[in-house]
Structure 1
């Protein structure tokens, strides 16, 4: 007899009045804190100016949050958010897109490179992407806690039964569970952690940052190739994706994989 996992974790750790402290926010914050610590080690290794590090943190936070929010609004529900622009700023109600966050970081890095370091964007990317795999994994664990972004039904014993009427359940209603489904949040988190470990090894053990763009390229391929294939197991995030051969997450992943391949080719070609 198969034994499935019934997932009944409350998304909130605790509340202050009407405000909640959620596992998602904690995972996001912990990921960034550890990421900052790792990048600080890089700064020490290369003996770089400390003020560059503080500026990088600010540009990265702003690029990630603004890009991820705008990516969700414009990639997945543009009609609604363009008609209700004030809804865009309600980030506390959820809705972040990793592809938008990536674009936001790229744009932030452009301005950071121009205004702060005056070095190439690839020089910054090779450092920035090392902890980003860990941050992405933490965010997917936050999705798990929120009972969201899970996959199609499965008869595998590791399938999760998620609460579908989460809001009503938290108000006291009886839970309505999904069919046992692929915990695609865990699949993605595992792939992202592997990418994180590889990038960490390349930087600190192999000194691969001396081949400008190599670490960045491997990161892009590792993150977005895994995302592309796991999307086949995930439920569509929006109804318009139902008739698409490849969903929005897959279509947005392809350019990043191509960018990663180009970056590796450029790094290996340059002496």
Structure 2
């Protein structure tokens, strides 16, 4: 198998990344429904639907906005407009979804935390999506810099590069196991989701240094700046984590 992996089935070239992206949405949502069915949910069906709509809208806008700032192109023709509209990133989707949920909850007056049910479906969805990113090689901006490290791989351009997608798959697997192990010990509603966001955004902050990024402010990329914003958003939780660790 060569990377990018683009198999041909029935005389049609298959976009494996797109297939796995849709599969990630489908399985992630089915997993969410399964968890909700087997969990006491203090949020009504109507409010939960409003929260989901807020999450979807926020994720859609956030993923596109951050995706644009990662590689700002000011379109002058139709093809460039299509390229801009198709540029997206999971980091913007996660943080945009978070803001969308908080805005929706304020509008409907919901006070219960709603994030914990999303944690494991999100990890599952990101995991499946990253498999697609790995198969896409250099066609997706999830590849790393050139390296002589023993894990370096040819991702489609003949150069040994950091397989960032594989690093993330390993991290997501560990994060899933860790959060699953502590979920029964986390008593405060919504705290598990905060741990997920802090853990994942921290990982992405450091792994971005291994990518051939454009660094804009203080030698940080757009994604890393978003990670810092996320840390500021959850500063109380981070402070408590450090306080309990000492």
Q: TM-score, normalised by structure 2?
A: 0.77
Summarize deviations over 1:85-108 as a string: whole Å, max 9, x none. 99556578x421233212320232
Show the counterpart of 2:192.
215
Q: Tell me how far 1:253 sits from its aligned partner.
A: 1.3
Q: Tell me how far 1:193 sits from its aligned partner.
A: 2.9
Show the counterpart of 1:137.
127
Change (3 A) 1:179 1:227: same
Contact 1:152–1:181 under 8 Å retained in 2: yes
| Aligned-pair Cα RMSD in Å | 3.5
Q: In structure 2, list runs of 5 or more residues that go unmatched.
A: none
Alignment partners' CA distance in 1, 2:130 and 2:103: 28
Task: State which drifts further: 189-198 or 225-234.
Answer: 189-198
Structure 1 moving runs of 4+ over 6 Å? 266-269
Match of 2:30 among 37, 40, 44: 37
Q: In structure 1, list runs of 5 or more residues that go unmatched.
A: 164-176
Show the counterpart of 1:180.
160
Q: Tell me how far 1:7 sits from its aligned partner.
A: 2.5
Contact 1:68–1:96 under 8 Å retained in 2: yes
Summarize deviations over 1:115-173 as a string: whole Å, max 9, x none. 457125xx01233234222222223222212223211122234322122xxxxxxxxxx
Q: What are the equivalent positions in structure 2 for 1:211-250 lying under 5 Å apart?
A: 211-236=188-213, 238=214, 241=215, 245-250=219-224
Show the counterpart of 1:152.
145
Show the counterpart of 1:167.
none
Show the counterpart of 1:63.
58
Contact 2:47–2:110 under 8 Å retained in 1: no
Q: Tell me how far 1:37 sits from its aligned partner.
A: 3.1
Change (3 A) 1:77 1:15: farther
Q: Tell me how far 1:191 sits from its aligned partner.
A: 1.4
Task: State which drifts further: 42-51 or 23-32.
Answer: 42-51
Give aligned pairs, total. Answer: 238
Q: For 1:35, what is the secondary structure of its paired residue?
A: helix
Q: What are the equivalent positions in structure 2 for 1:198-209 lying under 5 Å apart?
A: 198-203=178-183, 205-206=184-185, 208=186
Contact 1:218–1:260 under 8 Å retained in 2: no
Alignment partners' CA distance in 1, 2:71 and 2:147: 28
Contact 2:55–2:97 under 8 Å retained in 1: yes
Change (3 A) 1:15 1:22: farther
